[in-house]
């Protein structure tokens, strides 16, 4: 064996003996009592909280391990932070290169309780470092970033059965009970730039007002990308959110896919009523409405197997969306609804306090009765048939109370092989004309076009059936008000019956044997009021009919000295 080799072996043996001796001396000196005396008092001064530590071991080679560490609340009674076991292991040799390498940090059953009192103060605000942070923030003028004296690497951080509890006396945050696990690694260069990667999973029970939710999530991440899959169960529905976030530390690009096997839209739309109402408590009114960060980009797919709304079933719901530059677009949205199909596209500009929207919708082969049952006011009646329609729309606002004042639209519709069943407007006309045949009337087609302007639907359409034809042109308010002239054409059979039923029928004309009956619908959808359209009748009436109308409608030159109320005279004319 060479002389140099013998020297090297001797030096190595000496080094090992020195390290072993240091370890023995360290363990002999740093007893649990001495470590507690060295660590706990300064830690309590820094945190300004009482600290209890049941077990501590320090080893030069094995690292540091703690058992049953408790940090109390400010009152010294309840636990703010509790850790059942903590172990830290490290490498010594990298210190020679100004590198601090921790091979493992393990936390077993860490617990933390976050609480906000009725005055709006969180329990962690009284921690010493938080107070110092507030002072530094208040006096900071954007100084230089602090850097570490050496590079820090944590090869493995294991968190097992973590427990986080959040309680808010103001009820602005949901009460949360969360358990989690994590396996992470951290590298931090001397310039302070962190690099974190790993995976985590958690389960959270949330109570917000009257709404209970269960959240389960799994996620993995690198410094460049976060991948996640989360399910939310609330009000009996389960929604899954999955995707990834690129460059989440800088300019984020998000992929968010949303899916569900079944959604009860009635329940979900009712959720805001179950959430706690926020009180202003002196806050300034007229808050600036939140808009998404202009650099945020997001896109994804939406897939719902089935959705229910007031008994209406929608299936195979799917679509793609994108958010870029504050513009949200929904494309290729499709669904099977009411035995038909719905296709829709929407563009919403979120860059203004009052968002603007525009889009198109196409309805193919939908069952009108199913749509009426879900969307028509109760008691209106039923319209049956197969509906085809296309509409283009635009407007400003999100809530209906705002949107309906700024909504414009135009479109066309066709309703084939349909009928009216106890429909209020048709029943009212049938009662006026004393023709029960009009009630529960079937038709071959009802078609037309419409425009929505300033809260009113400008409607123009035609109806064809075996005994009735109709031309419709007027307005229906989005609030349900009616101003709708209707010109009926009754078959010779119904025309003859009408002539025997009401007196004013003798003043009506015929076209190819069909009797023309001008009517005007006013009132509202739920309380329609039909009357003969006297403006049209006056042009057609001759002789005795003209004089009768003049009695009903006093001439302006005669003032208001009519001897008989117009409505009473009108009834006398129309009734036999």
The per-residue b/e assignment along 306-332, b for 16 or more CB within 10 angstroms, e otherwise, is: bbbbeebebeebebebebeebebbbee
Biggest CA–CA distance in the chain, Å, is 143
Sign of the four-CA dihedral 482, 488, 493, 495: positive
CA distances 49 to 31, 34, 40, 66, 298, Å, are 24, 20, 10, 18, 43
Contact 67/149 with Cβ under 8 angstroms?
no
Return per-residue pLDDT of the chain as tens, 576 residues: 555 554 445 444 444 444 444 455 445 545 667 667 767 888 788 888 898 888 887 776 677 888 898 999 988 889 999 999 988 887 777 766 767 777 888 999 999 999 999 999 999 888 877 666 555 555 555 555 555 556 777 888 899 999 999 999 998 999 999 999 999 988 766 555 677 899 999 999 999 999 999 999 999 988 888 999 999 999 899 999 999 998 877 777 899 999 999 999 999 989 988 988 866 554 444 445 555 555 788 999 999 999 999 889 999 999 999 999 889 999 989 999 999 999 999 999 998 888 999 999 999 999 999 999 888 878 888 999 999 999 999 999 877 788 888 899 999 999 999 999 999 999 999 999 999 999 999 999 999 999 999 899 999 999 999 999 999 999 999 888 999 999 999 999 999 999 888 888 887 888 999 999 999 999 998 899 999 887 766 666 555 545 555 555 544 433 444 444 444 444 444 444
Kindly give the residue spans of alpha helices, DSSP state H, lying in 248-404.
Answer: 265-269, 271-274, 368-375, 400-403
Encoded tokens for 61: 């080679």
d(CA 237, CA 302): 16
**Number of residues that this document lists for the chain:** 576
Of the candidates 331, 357, 325, which has an alpha carbon nearest to the alpha carbon of residue 344? 331
Burial (CB count <10 Å: 0-12, 13-18, 19+), residue 348? middle
Encoded tokens for 319: 């679509």
Tokens 């059936």 belong to 465
pLDDT at 282: 46
Helices and strands, number each (H, E), in the chain: 12, 26
């Amino acid at each position: 064996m060479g002389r140099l080799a013998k020297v090297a072996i001797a030096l190595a043996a000496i080094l090992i003996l020195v390290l072993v001796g240091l370890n023995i001396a360290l363990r002999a000196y740093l007893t649990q009592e001495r470590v507690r005396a060295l660590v706990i008092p300064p830690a309590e001064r820094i945190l300004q909280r009482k600290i209890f530590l049941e077990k501590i071991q320090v080893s030069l080679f094995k690292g540091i391990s703690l058992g049953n560490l408790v940090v109390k609340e400010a009152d010294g009674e309840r636990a703010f932070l509790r850790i059942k076991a903590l172990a830290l292991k490290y490498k010594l040799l990298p210190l020679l290169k100004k590198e601090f390498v921790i091979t493992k940090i393990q936390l077993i059953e860490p617990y933390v309780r976050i609480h906000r009192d009725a005055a709006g103060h969180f329990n962690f605000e009284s921690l010493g470092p938080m107070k110092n942070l507030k002072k530094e923030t208040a006096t900071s003028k954007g100084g230089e970033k602090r850097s570490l004296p050496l590079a820090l690497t944590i090869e493995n951080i294991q968190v097992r059965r973590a427990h986080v509890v959040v309680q808010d006396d103001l009820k602005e945050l949901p009460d949360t009970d969360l358990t989690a696990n994590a396996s992470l690694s951290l590298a931090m260069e001397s310039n302070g730039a962190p690099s974190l990667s790993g995976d985590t999973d958690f389960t959270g029970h949330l109570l917000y007002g009257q709404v209970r939710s269960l959240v389960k999530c799994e996620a993995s991440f690198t410094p460049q990308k976060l991948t996640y899959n989360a399910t939310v169960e609330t009000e009996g529905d389960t929604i899954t959110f999955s995707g990834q976030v690129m460059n989440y530390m800088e300019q984020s690009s998000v992929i968010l896919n949303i899916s569900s096997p079944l959604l009860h839209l009635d329940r979900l739309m009712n959720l805001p009523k179950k959430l706690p109402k926020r009180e202003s408590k002196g806050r300034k009114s007229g808050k600036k409405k939140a808009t998404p960060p202009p650099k945020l980009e997001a896109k994804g797919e939406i897939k719902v197997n089935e959705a229910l709304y007031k008994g209406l079933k929608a299936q195979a719901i799917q679509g793609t969306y994108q958010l870029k530059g504050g513009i949200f677009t929904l494309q290729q949205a499709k669904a099977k609804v009411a035995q038909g199909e719905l296709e829709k596209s929407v563009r919403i500009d979120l860059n203004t306090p009052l968002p603007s929207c525009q889009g198109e919708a196409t309805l193919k082969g939908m069952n009108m009765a199913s749509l009426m049952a879900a969307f028509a006011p109760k008691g209106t009646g039923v319209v049956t048939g197969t509906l085809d329609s296309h509409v283009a729309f635009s407007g400003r606002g999100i809530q209906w109370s705002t949107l309906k004042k700024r909504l414009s639209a135009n479109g066309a519709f066709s309703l084939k092989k349909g009928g009216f069943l106890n429909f209020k407007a048709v029943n009212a006309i049938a009662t006026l004309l004393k023709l029960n045949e009009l009630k529960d009337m079937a038709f071959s087609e009802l078609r037309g076009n419409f425009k929505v302007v300033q809260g009113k639907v400008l409607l123009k359409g035609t109806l064809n059936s075996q005994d009735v034809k109709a031309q419709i042109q007027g307005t229906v308010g989005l609030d349900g008000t009616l101003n709708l002239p209707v010109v009926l054409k009754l078959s010779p059979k119904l025309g003859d019956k009408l002539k025997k039923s009401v007196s004013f029928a003798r003043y009506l004309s015929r076209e190819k044997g069909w009797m023309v009956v001008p009517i005007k619908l006013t009132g509202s959808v739920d309380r329609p009021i039909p009357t003969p359209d006297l403006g049209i009748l006056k042009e057609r009436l001759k002789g005795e009919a003209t004089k009768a109308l003049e009695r009903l409608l006093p001439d302006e030159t005669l003032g208001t000295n009519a001897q008989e109320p117009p409505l009473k005279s009108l009834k006398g004319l129309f009734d036999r």
